[in-house]
Amino acid sequence: MPPPYRITLIPGDGIGPEVTQAAVRVLEATGLKFEWESFRAGAEAYEKYGEYIPKELIESIERTRVALKGPISTPIGGGFSSINVALRRKFELYANFRPIKNLPHIPTRYPDVDLVIVRENTESLYSGLEHEVVPGVVESLKIITEKASTRIARFAFEYARKNHRRKVHAIHKANIMKLSDGLFLRCSRNIAKDYPEITYGEHIVDNTCMQLVMNPYQYDVLVMENLYGDIISDLCAAFVGGLGLVPSANLGESCAIFEAVHGSAPDIAGKNIANPTAVLRCALLMLRHLGEDEAALKIRNGLEKTYRTREKLTRDVGGQAGTSEFADSVIEAMEVPATATQSD
Ligand code: NAI
């Protein structure tokens, strides 16, 4: 019997504990064995340990190199800085990979959307470098470096090549931010030269929003700096049924943290009504990262069957089932797959 996978689990807050619990149950139902090292972070951790990110959590990720994470709330306009951003920076998780793909039978404006957003994860306005210059005037620094821009462009093109994607678009605002976004674009153009089989395009970010809503099929892989990636991901989530459905992987050289695109959704927390699909798709990405393609396919099959039968869907996608019932349905529907594909 192979040894269990040791995974760091961060349940998060708001709907985090509900959706991550659903993912843990589904992962364990694949037949693989897991040992979970579970830690709180954020406001709850501060109350308990006097630290927003307990050092035991950092040590756990250093040890396991793989974490499954629920959302963590960040206070607006004051209070502590984002734990999510801090973890990405601490572990140099420079690439945020966000596949946007329809599941069957969710009514959406566009069927069969299949896009990938590659978001630079360590800099831009997320640098957190803000200060009050004089009362009534604040300055927020947008950091763009050649190193990080080249690294993320390389990631996007490598992903495109390995997955037979045809196009990569760099998204920017270099008409206004000539130096910072200009550097990002120059790095993307340089990397594009190494991939002649992939069509390279550039779109200004505001135009991209309009183009996406008019015709999402014109895009394939989109690479962009941190803030644009944050905003465009939520827009693209609407193509596939909303935030309850879109996963992400924060990837670096030494470790990976898998978390949904959505936040802690305080408006629906604690009611067992959140859709756990996004975090289940994170679990699926995590299994692929671990090389467990067959188990990943079981989860995909379980999800697709649950959506096809439509009996146990959560409210955000037109059903009445709770988070835990949805997970039960996925577990019931999981079958041993015939062939492995990389389709989501
Ligand atoms: P949100 O993503 O939490 O919620 C936006 C809307 O989508 C809400 O109406 C919510 O009910 C709905 N929604 C989100 N996830 C859902 C799910 N699984 N099932 C059904 N409906 C779902 O965004 P919001 O309200 O802007 O942020 C709330 C908190 O989450 C903030 O403190 C924010 O900082 C934090 N956040 C954390 C993230 C992370 O941990 N990676 C990412 C985004 C936000």
Q: How far is the CA of 131 from the centre of ligand 1 (A)?
A: 27
Q: How far is the CA of 42 from the centre of ligand 1 (A)?
A: 15
Report which ligand 1 atom has the smallest distance to the Cα of 275. Answer: 19
Ligand 1, atom 12, lies closest to the CA of 265
**pLDDT at position 2:** 82
Report which ligand 1 atom has the smallest distance to the Cα of 19. Answer: 18
Q: How far is the CA of 211 from the centre of ligand 1 (A)?
A: 25
Among candidate residues 252, 257, 286, 235, the one with its CA nearest the CA of residue 84: 257
Tokens of 58: 């950092």
The region of weakest confidence among 17-21, 103-107, 152-156, 267-271 is: 103-107
Q: How far is the CA of 262 from the centre of ligand 1 (A)?
A: 4
**pLDDT at position 342:** 47
Q: How far is the CA of 43 from the centre of ligand 1 (A)?
A: 16
Q: What's the sign of the alpha-carbon dihedral 74, 77, 80, 85?
A: positive
Q: How far is the CA of 139 from the centre of ligand 1 (A)?
A: 27
Among candidate residues 93, 103, 65, the one with its CA nearest the CA of residue 300: 103
Strand partners for 37: 8
Mean pLDDT of the chain: 95
Gap between the Cα atoms of 30 and 256, Å rounded: 21
- Name the band, by pLDDT with cuts 50, 70 and 90, for residue 327: very high
Question: Does residue 235 carry a pLDDT above 80?
Answer: yes
The region of weakest confidence among 122-131, 230-239, 264-273 is: 122-131
Cβ burial, residue 317 (10 Å; 0-12/13-18/19+) = buried
Neighbours of 331 (CB within 10 A): 18
Average pLDDT over residues 85-103: 96
Question: Does residue 218 carry a pLDDT above 80?
Answer: yes
Q: How far is the CA of 227 from the centre of ligand 1 (A)?
A: 16
pLDDT digits (tens, 9 = 90+) for 180-215: 999 999 999 999 999 999 999 999 999 999 999 999
Report which ligand 1 atom has the smallest distance to the Cα of 262. Answer: 2
Under a CB-based contact definition with an 8 Å cutoff, are residues 58 and 51 in contact? no
Coil vs helix vs strand at 295: helix
Instruction: Choose the residue to mutate in 52, 262, 282 for probing ligand 1, maximizing ligand atoms within 8 Å of C-beta.
Output: 262
Instruction: Give the binding-site residues of ligand 1, using a 6 Å CB cut-off.
Output: 15, 19, 71-74, 84, 243-244, 259, 262-268, 274-275, 278, 316
What is the DSSP secondary structure assignment for residue 109, as one 8-state letter? S
Sequence-ordered alpha helix ranges (H) in 81-237? 83-90, 146-162, 180-192, 205-214, 226-237
- Name the band, by pLDDT with cuts 50, 70 and 90, for residue 344: low
Q: How far is the CA of 328 from the centre of ligand 1 (A)?
A: 23
Among candidate residues 87, 77, 98, 41, the one with its CA nearest the CA of residue 221: 98
Ligand 1, atom 22, lies closest to the CA of 244
| Residues contacting 249, CB < 8 A, separation 6+ | 96, 97, 256, 257, 258, 282, 285, 286, 289
Gap between the Cα atoms of 337 and 344, Å rounded: 15
**pLDDT at position 77:** 87
Q: What string of DSSP letters covers 221-283?
A: EEEE-HHHHHHHHHHHHGGGTSGGG-EEEEE-SS-EEEEESS---TTTTTTT-S--HHHHHHH
Gap between the Cα atoms of 63 and 72, Å rounded: 22
CATH class of the 121-239 domain in this structure: alpha beta
Coil vs helix vs strand at 214: helix
Cβ burial, residue 150 (10 Å; 0-12/13-18/19+) = middle
Among candidate residues 319, 287, 289, 293, the one with its CA nearest the CA of residue 306: 319
Strand partners for 130: 140
Ligand 1, atom 23, lies closest to the CA of 263
Among candidate residues 14, 26, 85, the one with its CA nearest the CA of residue 269: 14
Average pLDDT over residues 173-177: 98
Question: Does residue 339 carry a pLDDT above 80?
Answer: no
Percent of the chain at pLDDT above 70?
Answer: 97
Count of alpha carbons within 13 angstroms of residue 63, beta-carbon side: 14
Ranges of each domain in the chain: 1-106+241-344, 121-239
Strand partners for 119: 96, 224
Ligand 1, atom 26, lies closest to the CA of 263
pLDDT digits (tens, 9 = 90+) for 19-63: 999 999 999 999 999 999 999 999 989 988 899 999 999 999 999
Q: Is 1-106+241-344 in CATH node 1.10.3720.10?
A: no
- Name the band, by pLDDT with cuts 50, 70 and 90, for residue 313: very high
Question: Does residue 75 carry a pLDDT above 60?
Answer: yes
Report which ligand 1 atom has the smallest distance to the Cα of 315. Answer: 20
**pLDDT at position 107:** 86
CA angle 182, 166, 95 (to 5 degrees): 55
Q: How far is the CA of 72 from the centre of ligand 1 (A)?
A: 9
Q: Do domains 1-106+241-344 and 121-239 have the same CATH topology?
A: no
**pLDDT at position 104:** 85
- b/e for 240-277, b at 16 or more Cβ within 10 A? bbbbbbbbbbbbbeebbbbbbbbbbbeebbeebbbbbb
Among candidate residues 39, 5, 4, the one with its CA nearest the CA of residue 20: 39
Instruction: Choose the residue to mutate in 264, 279, 315 for probing ligand 1, maximizing ligand atoms within 8 Å of C-beta.
Output: 264
